[in-house]
Amino acid sequence: MNKLVLAYFLIIINNINCRTEEDEGVKYANRCEVCKILAVELENRLEETGKSHDVIETGYAVDDVKPKKKKEYKKSELRLVESLEGICEKILEYNIHKERTDSTRFAKGMSQTFQALHGLVDKGVKVELGIPYELWDKPSAEITNMKTQCETMLEQNEGDIEDWYFNLQGKVPLKHYLCADRVLDEEESSCLSEKLKGDNGKNVKKNKSEL
* More reliable by pLDDT, 63 or 20: 63
Q: pLDDT, tens digit, for every residue of 32-53?
A: 999 999 999 999 999 998 877 6
204 three-state secondary structure: coil
Q: Which of 7-11, 44-48, 79-83, 187-191 has the lowest mean pLDDT?
A: 7-11
Which string of b and e fits 120-137 if b means at least 16 CB within 10 Å? eeeeeeeeeeeeeeeeee
pLDDT computed for residue 53 by the predictor: 65
pLDDT computed for residue 118 by the predictor: 54
What are the distances in angstroms from CA 118 to CA 106, 123, 128, 141?
Answer: 19, 9, 12, 20
pLDDT computed for residue 122 by the predictor: 63
H or E element, residue 143: helix 141-156
Q: Model's pTM, two decimal places?
A: 0.71
Identity of the residue numbered 13:
I
Name the average pLDDT for the chain: 77
Q: What backbone torsions phi and psi does residue 68 show, to the nearest 5 degrees?
A: -70, 150
Q: Is the pLDDT of residue 99 over 70?
A: yes
Q: Is the pLDDT of residue 9 over 80?
A: no
Q: pLDDT, tens digit, for every residue of 102-138?
A: 999 999 876 566 556 656 666 676 656 666 655 556 7
The residue extents of the domains of the chain are 3-210
In contact, 68 and 61? CB cutoff 8 Å: yes
pLDDT computed for residue 58 by the predictor: 59
Q: How confident is the model at residue 88 (pLDDT cuts 50, 70, 90)?
A: very high
Contacts of 143 (CB under 8 A, 6+ apart): 91, 92, 94, 95, 96, 106
* More reliable by pLDDT, 55 or 63: 55
Q: Which of 13-17, 62-66, 101-105, 171-175 has the lowest mean pLDDT?
A: 13-17
Q: Is the pLDDT of residue 156 over 90?
A: yes
Identify the top-confidence range among 102-111, 116-125, 143-152, 202-211.
143-152
